[in-house]
């Protein structure tokens, strides 16, 4: 990485939050992936904007990372910069029936804050291991709940053309978008299709009984522990649910329960999860994903779509 870029970054970010050649396996739930040239931990919108301006001017490819629970990073790592807000841009505020959280806040903490204030609606999110930013991009959901049902508005940073910044000029604008205009769909949203960076979101919830909310969360957590291979690194469901069916059922029917390549395996506990059994590379995980898609297509005529996002490849 160009020394000038690093010198510039040091003006907007403390040095201990500028990491060079940072192994991405430390930041992804699959526990695979090579080093990112630059790994930047921002703690405020001002820092984020400063970092983005410098990276853009220097034309450094830039990737955003939440808690890394839905991504697979190339074994070769990432040529460019990874920016994360999960360290300190994670404030949560409760006011009346609304909860506002910053992009780096873990969903589990947001759901817990809602519960502690007797607010119902986010129980489904308590066991999803991602951050708010990743959850908005993915319209994360579980057990009949999804972001779409509870998000009142999302505040984002959008890149727009700036007429006063020369030929390559773009600038970042903060916009607040109502939930109904977020184009939330199954594991997608307008952030995924149009780009942009989630800064924060506000949830509109309802008053509920704290004991009932806690009991529902515990019930869903028990269902997860019972059905999902939580003891192994993974990115949760590897494939999207095909219409009218389940990826896990199709994979099992194709005879792939326990199928493995290198250290990656179709979970024996839940066929919809590809897991890292130990020592897997991202190439192993990708090879299992490709083999599963091909075999399921042969046996059922259905082409599974990946839910996991590939980063740096």
Q: So which residues are the catalytic ones?
A: 187, 237, 307
Binding string to ligand FAD for residues 109 to 128, with x set by CB under 6 A, is what?
-------------------x
275 DSSP β-pair partners: 234, 265
276 binds ligand FAD (CB under 6 A): no
Give the span between the Cα atoms of 189 and 132, in whole angstroms: 13
145 binds ligand FAD (CB under 6 A): no
Give the span between the Cα atoms of 116 and 82, in whole angstroms: 34
Question: Rg (Cα) of the chain, in Å, rounded?
Answer: 20
201 binds ligand FAD (CB under 6 A): no
Binding string to ligand FAD for residues 65 to 84, with x set by CB under 6 A, is what?
xxxxxxx-------------
Q: Which residue has the tokens 């220097």?
A: 58
92 binds ligand FAD (CB under 6 A): no
User: Which residues ranging from 23 to 52 are in contact with ligand FAD (CB under 6 A)?
Assistant: 29
Give the span between the Cα atoms of 88 and 215, in whole angstroms: 30
Rounded least distance, CB 65 to ligand FAD, Å: 5
Rounded least distance, CB 58 to ligand FAD, Å: 20
Give the span between the Cα atoms of 132 and 118, in whole angstroms: 20
18 DSSP β-pair partners: 40
Calculate the alpha carbon distances from 129 to 84, 113, 221 in Å: 16, 15, 12
Tokens coding 40: 């930047």
Of 5, 111, 126, 137, which one interacts with ligand FAD (CB under 6 A)? 137
248 binds ligand FAD (CB under 6 A): no
Rounded least distance, CB 270 to ligand FAD, Å: 10
- Its sign, for the CA torsion 262, 308, 71, 204, is negative
64 binds ligand FAD (CB under 6 A): yes
220 binds ligand FAD (CB under 6 A): no
In the complex, the residues that contact ligand FAD under the rule CB under 6 A are 29, 64-71, 85, 103, 128-131, 133-135, 137-138, 140-142, 191, 197-198, 230, 234-236, 309
């Amino acid at each position: 990485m160009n020394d000038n870029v690093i010198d510039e970054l040091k003006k907007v970010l403390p040095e201990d939050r500028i990491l060079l050649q940072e192994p991405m396996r430390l930041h992804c739930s699959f526990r695979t992936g090579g080093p990112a040239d630059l790994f930047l931990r921002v703690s405020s919108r001002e820092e984020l904007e400063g970092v983005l301006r410098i990276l853009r001017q220097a034309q450094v490819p830039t990737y955003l990372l939440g808690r890394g629970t839905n991504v697979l990073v190339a074994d070769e790592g990432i040529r460019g910069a990874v920016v994360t807000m999960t360290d300190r841009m994670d404030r949560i505020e409760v006011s009346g029936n609304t909860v506002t959280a910053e992009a780096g806040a873990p969903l589990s903490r947001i759901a817990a804050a809602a519960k502690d204030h007797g607010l119902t609606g986010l129980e489904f999110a308590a066991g999803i291991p991602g951050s708010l930013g990743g959850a908005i991009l993915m319209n994360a959901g579980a057990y009949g709940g999804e972001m779409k049902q509870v998000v009142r508005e999302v505040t984002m940073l959008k890149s727009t053309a700036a007429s006063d910044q020369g030929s390559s000029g773009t600038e970042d604008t903060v916009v607040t978008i109502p939930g109904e205009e977020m184009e939330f769909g199954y594991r997608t949203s307008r952030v995924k299709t149009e780009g942009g960076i989630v800064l924060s979101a506000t949830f509109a919830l309802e008053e509920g009984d704290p004991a009932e909310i806690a009991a529902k969360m515990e019930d869903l957590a028990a269902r997860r522990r019972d059905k999902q291979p939580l003891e192994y690194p993974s990115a949760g469901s590897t494939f999207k649910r095909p219409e009218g069916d389940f990826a896990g059922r199709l994979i099992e029917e194709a005879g792939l329960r326990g199928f493995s390549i290198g250290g990656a395996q179709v979970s024996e506990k839940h066929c919809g999860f590809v897991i890292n059994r130990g020592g897997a590379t991202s190439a192993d995980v990708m090879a299992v994903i490709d083999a599963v898609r091909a075999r399921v297509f042969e046996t059922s005529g259905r082409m599974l779509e990946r839910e996991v996002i590939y980063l740096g490849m």
